[in-house]
Structure 1
Amino acid sequence: MSFDYDLFVIGGGSGGVRAGRLAAGTGAKVALAEEYRMGGTCVIRGCVPKKLMVYASSYSEAFEDAKGYGWTVGDSSFDWSKLIAAKDKEITRLEAIYGKNLGAAGAEQFDARAELVDAHTVKLSTGQTFTAKHILVAVGGTPFVPNIEGKEHIISSNEIFDLKEQPKRFLVVGGGYIACEFACIMNGLGSKVTQFYRSEQILRGFDNEVRDFVAEEMRGKGIDLRVNTDVKSIEKTTDGLKVTVSDGSELIVDQVMYATGRIPNTHGLGLENAGVEIGRKGEIIVDGYSQTNIPSIYAVGDVTDRVQLTPVAIREGAAFVDTVFHGNPSQADHDLIPTAVFTQPEIGTVGMGEEEARASEEIEVYKSAFRPMAHILAGKSERMLMKLIISKATRKVLGCHIVGHAAGEMIQMAGIAVKMGATKEDFDRTMAVHPTAAEELVTMKTPVAS
């Protein structure tokens, strides 16, 4: 049977574009359809614009810190519209690069929505229908917002980047990394920030000490972080949005943002037409090679709900091409993935938290909490945390956790060592770089009492 394309990719995000580019580079005939903007969640409404806003929000503290170092700093003010315009310009530039690189590789691009018709056929919103030997679904995820009274007044992490005005009173609902990052961003930009989380502590899944440490520092920066707290209803009034809280109290804010998780973006994709198996949350079920139960259909990235990170989607896309177009069966390695959370203070983590490690074997814990040099003349009380989780049996570093400035940069390097199986003694043998905060990783000599 002849097909219109060797590969048809649905979704122009990081995973889909990487797979399309690499497959086209093998000489395969490739097409990709994207219904919104090239770049996907990461470039358009995720990692990239978020990090730009993180940078913007850090200047308020930098101006204050400068005084301790002898600088005379005049009155400062922040213009939301200028930041959004600069952000939009950069996103447009990156979007164009994605499209240009895909085209340069020889892939054809359709600015249209694509849905599955059967195991080898896709139909576009333009009315066009194409057949393909292989179909790759890479449509990512979408924010989940619970069905509460007043839901129509809520924004998600999609809309926050396009607000015309800065909300002066801002409520974030959620306790994951997106909620915590935006609480810190808006606080740094000068909004009065309240954050609700319905469970006992933010950042579920991270090391408990890291969770407690970050929560304490966030409160120290002025964020009104309330745990075991949820929203009952939201009502629009002349003074703003009236939020009725689970404890019976009320709160008036200008904007409510829900960051209560993301779900696979599979609704209306036509998966049932092709017989593709999906899971409880709508995720596409795949094997280690990203293949679905239908041999011709594969899926990568957040739509599979494996690990929701951009670099993971990119690796999965590359492994798919190795498997299908190079005849070299390959699986993306989802073990020991370094991760950064751009809260203020920042988190960098790789491997097991203390609780998970203790449940699996006997461990030693090394940690150091200290006020870094940069904060001393600035007169800041903010601390850093460094923590290593060590296997008693093998001496391997099972987990490395950093909270503080540049934690994301540090964990990328530490992640290489942990991935290689470095031991505590390997860390100890490494000469410290002085004076840096990172030297604490190689100078912690005594384990804490268990």
Structure 2
Amino acid sequence: MKRIVIIGGGPAGYEAALVAAQLRADVTVVEADGAGGACVLSDCVPSKTFIASSEVVTGYRDTEEFGIDSDGLEAVTVDAAAVHARVKRLALAQSADVHSKLVKAGVTFVAGRARLGEDTLGHTHRVLVSPDSGDAEYPIEASTVLVATGATPRQLPTAVPDGERILTWRQVYDLPALPEHLVVVGSGVTGAEFASAYLAMGVPVTLVSSRDRVMPHEDADAAMAIEQVFRARGMTILNNSRADAVSRVGDGVEVRLSDGRTVTASHALIAVGSVPNTADLGLAEYGVTVADSGHVPVDRVSRTNVPGIYAAGDCTGVLPLASVAAMQGRIAMWHALGEAVVPLRLRTVAANVFTDPELATVGVSQDEVDDGRVQARQVMLPLAGNARAKMADLRDGFVKLFCRPASGQIIGGVVVAPKASELIMPITVAVENHMTVSQLAHTITIYPSLSGSVAEAARQLMWHDEE
């Protein structure tokens, strides 16, 4: 029986463990924070639960349009303590579910930390485990090691979080009340999501963006559509503005911008990316290549440069998505245990930004098409023309499709809409299975439905003349 040690119990680690256990390996998972790792306990699950509360508030917006008098958003109050308690409760419940699933599968779960030990002769790797129980460190000789240690919010030396007024996204759930005014430093995915959620809850929000638009790495049409919604709902967005420092001033904070301006608020949320948790693992000493950024480079089957040592998830820097981390972990185990495996294909990975409205993408990007790296025809349909959208009074958003010029094969798509994370699925299926716009166009959709716009976009591309 092969012995496998997995360092980290997040999506990459626990999904890998379930695959390895299913293939009858002896599996040990070592995790410092709890089953599910930071993703379940402090990052993805908590933030999306928090956003779910903000969506409930959004449901009271403009109800008069539907003939319903709800007294509007002004009548809605948000109990921050109750919201935060629900966030923590659901995170712990999800962690317990993951732990139960691992134990049921026969996986040994160790609360603690692990690192690679000295190189050994033969075909095993020595892993040194330090349990949180206080027991002495002990070695495990493993045929395969998977490093799945995730990442931690990046801190700026001039904006050190204190957990009270200057916060990382892991600390917001400890606030006793909602901020009176929140300044969000960083307009990437995380910054945009929290800015959107707090704005929906009635908190005045100032978003500091170092680029000319929010979410600069996302589809430009989609990002601009969401930025327009943000502005229309009262968010202050400071484009082309870089924060030099954030400091406590009395009962609030002051953000100093590089051009000399200052922004004052009650709280500041620092959302400037993450750094991989790869220090103190003994990787470099063991001969595992570690990039200057701290990430562990891997190939498409999750191998590092050292045979038998694999890595998966945010510590690899491939794509900071739980879905990708989980697939990297599964692929690592399939490969290590001799199963047939399809290398990771990022072209078919769908991603979603949980703002309001949401932004979902899959496949090729607009930038690749615009600069000629990918030849494609495209169409973009505003949701405002969709019958179901009119009934729900959805005026913002669109569906965009890309296809190959000659064959009509669907190679990408973008959706901006409520629950775009669900609406992207038919496009993802089409990209994954090399479907053509003709095949998608001939699929009968529910009427009325938002998904009807996906089929309608395909129908338009069927008859789109090449320019």
2:114 corresponds to which residue? 114
Tell me, in whole angstroms, the C-alpha distance in 1 between the residues paired with 2:267 and 2:225: 27
Report the equivalent of 2:282: 270
Deviation sequence 1:138-183 (CA, Å, 0-9, x none): 1111122232266656322222233333212111111211111111
CA-based RMSD: 2.3
| Aligned twin of 1:313 | 325
CA distance in 1, matches of 2:395, 2:234: 12
Question: Which residue does 1:51 correspond to in 2?
Answer: 48
Structure 2 residue identity aligned to 1:429: H
Say if 1:7 and 1:31, in contact at 8 Å, map to a contact too: yes
Quote the residue 2:410 is aligned against. 397
Name the CA distance, whole Å, in 1 between partners of 2:70 and 2:112: 50
Q: Deviations over 1:53-102 (max 9, x none)?
A: 12111222211333332333253211010011112111111111111111
CA distance change for structure 1 residues 91 and 381 in 2, over 3 Å: closer, same or farther? Answer: closer
Is 1:123–2:128 an aligned residue pair? yes
Cα 1:226/1:388, change in 2 over 3 Å: same
Could you say which residue in structure 1 is the equivalent of 2:155? 145
Q: 2:143 aligns with which of 125, 133, 137?
A: 133
Question: Residue 364 of structure 1 contacts residue 448 of structure 1 at CA under 8 Å; is this kept in 2?
Answer: no
Give the whole-Å Cα distance in 2 for the aligned partners of 1:425 and 1:159: 49
Give the 3-state SS of the residue equivalent to 1:311 in structure 2. Answer: helix
Kept after mapping to 1: 8 A contact 2:445/2:455 = yes
After TM superposition, the score normalised by the length of structure 2 is 0.89
Question: Deviation at 1:381?
Answer: 7.4
Whether 2:262 is the aligned partner of 1:257: answer no
The one-letter amino acid paired with 2:42 is R
Structure 2 counterpart of 1:39: 36
In 1, distance between residues paired with 2:47 and 2:126? 36
Report the Cα distance in structure 2 between the residues aligned to 1:16 and 1:349, rounded to whole angstroms.
Answer: 25
> Aligned with 2:106: secondary structure?
coil
Q: 1:33 to 1:219 in 2, by over 3 A?
A: same
More displaced stretch, 174-183 vs 366-375: 366-375
Is the alpha carbon distance of 1:388 and 1:149 closer, same or farther for their aligned partners in structure 2, counting shifts above 3 Å?
closer
Q: Could you list the runs of 5+ residues in structure 1 that have no partner in the other structure?
A: none
5 Å-filtered alignment, 1:293-332, equals: 293-332=305-344
For residue 206 of structure 1, report the CA deviation from its aligned partner: 2.1
Q: What is the aligned partner in structure 1 of residue 5 from structure 2?
A: 8
Match of 1:434 in 2: 447
Q: Do 1:150 and 1:233's aligned partners in 2 also have CA atoms closer than 8 Å?
A: no
Match of 2:200 among 176, 179, 188: 188
1:375 deviates by: 6.7
CA contact (8 A) 2:300 2:343 kept: yes
Counterpart secondary structure, 1:335: helix
Equivalent in 177, 190, 193 of residue 178 of structure 1: 190
* 2:298–2:310 contact (8 Å) kept in structure 1: yes
SS in 1 for 2:279: coil
The answer on 1:90 being equivalent to 2:90 is: yes
Deviation at 1:304, TM superposition (A): 0.9
For 2:25, the equivalent position in structure 1 comes to 28
Q: CA deviation at 1:124?
A: 2.7
How far 1:259 sits from its partner (Å)? 1.3
Amino acid of the structure 2 residue aligned with 1:343:
T
TM-score w.r.t. structure 1 length? 0.92
Q: Output aligned runs, 1:326-405, within 5 Å.
A: 326-358=338-370, 359-371=372-384, 382-405=395-418
Distance 1:335 1:150, change over 3 A: closer
Whether the 8 Å CA contact 1:81–1:165 is kept in 2: the answer is yes
Counterpart contact for 1:366–1:448, Cα < 8 Å: no
- Percent identity over paired residues: 26
Amino acid at match of 1:116: L
